Amino acid sequence: MTINQRAVLTGAGAMSRKWLEAIKTVGGVDIVGIVDINPANAEARAKERNINPEIGTDLPAMLSRLAPEIVFDVAIPAVRHDIVSAALAAGAHVLSEKPMAETLEQARDLVARAKAADRLHVVIQNRRYLAQLRRIHRLVASGAIGEVTGVHCDFFLDPHFGGFREQMPHVLLLDMAVHTFDAARYVIGDIASSAYAEEWNPAGSWYERDASAFASFHFAGGAVMTYRGSWAAPGLRTSWESYWRITGTEGSIVWDGADDIRAARSNAHVSGQLLPDTAMLEIPALDPADRIGGHLGVITDFLAATRGGPLPETVGSENIKSLAMVLGAIDSSTLGRRVEIHI
């Protein structure tokens, strides 16, 4: 008989529902404790899932009492560094919500702590685990549009979350744009070397600050990413994945962030026309090897890694490259100039 892994979950708010469901789906894990500064949230999650974990408000105390093999961190970004540090110090593998930290120093520190403790520290960058993004990645990797020269993303939505986001500084860049930046980095296959950005709060915004932003990044190999976004943009919403245009030396891809992907290749080298003919490209099918499934996909890969499987692609030492884009953009917006990005 195999023995289930023992895990403590911390941060029992809205997102923890999805986590607990996915953890149950993967199986092989007992949630032996739930920590939240608001114990009513922890109790509610336990009741919903019909489980009977220890409920507490003090993570280090619970960790020393229960010595779990795994900590699932779904709390707010402001307490992430404390939670992940405590979990690693207690010898647990950690799967953490995004963003992986609030500053690059904190992120570097967590990567170093995970290495020193020889524990896994993985981040839920769930939007990388989207089937359509995997298909786009395959198309780019096939060389069908030549070399990627630009990724341009528009993100316009109007969510009324309530809670921590409405007071959080840099809310759009830090809490949301990290997904789009990470996905762009994945498609370009390179590291951003500099950032230029501006944040503002549009009239009528229900956020305290920073609900809108634009950002541009130069990548080491010469590609550029541009982003325009707002969380206070009522009407004509884009998808949560943004609306994308990827430009290459020989063609382009557009993606509505949902199911519509279109790509075309230019025949410039044969036609000599002002606007050369283009030919539509077929979008590759998903390969069985493609890792998909959003939260469930990342949680599956994390748990597999704790059981001896391969290192997940959203491990902290990789994910810091996406966080560095966010923090570079925030620095640029604060300083009012382009900044270099150093990981």
Q: Minimum Å distance from CB 187 to ligand NAD?
A: 18
Compare residues 126 and 216 and give the one whose CB is closer to ligand NAD: 126
Q: Which of 7, 8, 9, 12 binds ligand NAD (CB under 6 A)?
A: 12
Q: Minimum Å distance from CB 85 to ligand NAD?
A: 12
- Binding region for ligand NAD (CB under 6 A) out of 11-19, 103-111, 194-202, 269-277: 11-19
Note whether 36 binds ligand NAD by CB under 6 A: yes
Note whether 100 binds ligand NAD by CB under 6 A: no
Note whether 312 binds ligand NAD by CB under 6 A: no
Q: Minimum Å distance from CB 16 to ligand NAD?
A: 6
Classify the C-alpha dihedral 182-187-190-192 as positive or negative.
negative
Do 59 and 10 touch, CB atoms closer than 8 A?
yes
Q: Minimum Å distance from CB 29 to ligand NAD?
A: 19
Report the amino acid identity of residue 42.
A
Note whether 11 binds ligand NAD by CB under 6 A: yes
Note whether 175 binds ligand NAD by CB under 6 A: yes
The DSSP symbol for 126 reads G
Q: Which of 68, 77, 251, 312 binds ligand NAD (CB under 6 A)?
A: 77
Q: Which of 26, 30, 39, 41 binds ligand NAD (CB under 6 A)?
A: 41
CA 102/CA 110 separation, integer angstroms:
11
Task: With both helix axes pointing from N to C terminus, report the angle between 104-117 and 316-335 in degrees, rounded to the nearest 10.
Answer: 170
What one-character-per-residue DSSP string does 243-300 give? EEEEEESSEEEEE-SSS-EEEEEE-HHHH--SS--EEE-PPPPPPTTS---HHHHHHH
Note whether 296 binds ligand NAD by CB under 6 A: no
Note whether 261 binds ligand NAD by CB under 6 A: no
Do 110 and 85 touch, CB atoms closer than 8 A?
yes
Instruction: Report which residue's Cβ sits closest to ligand NAD.
Output: 13
Q: Minimum Å distance from CB 6 to ligand NAD?
A: 19
Q: Which of 5, 6, 13, 146 binds ligand NAD (CB under 6 A)?
A: 13
Note whether 74 binds ligand NAD by CB under 6 A: yes
Structure tokens at 165: 């986001």
Chain residues 138-167 in contact with ligand NAD, contact rule CB under 6 A = 163-164
Q: Minimum Å distance from CB 18 to ligand NAD?
A: 8
Q: In what order do the strands lie in the sheet with 5-10?
A: 54-56, 29-35, 5-10, 70-73, 93-96, 121-123
Do 253 and 245 touch, CB atoms closer than 8 A?
yes
The DSSP H or E segment spanning 154 is: strand 148-156
Q: Minimum Å distance from CB 3 to ligand NAD?
A: 27
| Residue (of 256, 283, 254, 277) closest to 265 by Cα position | 277
Q: Which of 97, 102, 182, 290 binds ligand NAD (CB under 6 A)?
A: 97
Q: Minimum Å distance from CB 52 to ligand NAD?
A: 19
Q: Minimum Å distance from CB 248 to ligand NAD?
A: 28
Distances, alpha carbon 109 to alpha carbons 13, 25, 115, 117, 187, in Å: 26, 32, 10, 12, 27
Do 93 and 69 touch, CB atoms closer than 8 A?
yes
Note whether 103 binds ligand NAD by CB under 6 A: no
Q: Cα Rg for the chain, rounded, in angstroms?
A: 21
Residues that bind ligand NAD (CB under 6 A): 10-16, 35-38, 41, 74-77, 79, 97-98, 124, 126, 163-164, 175
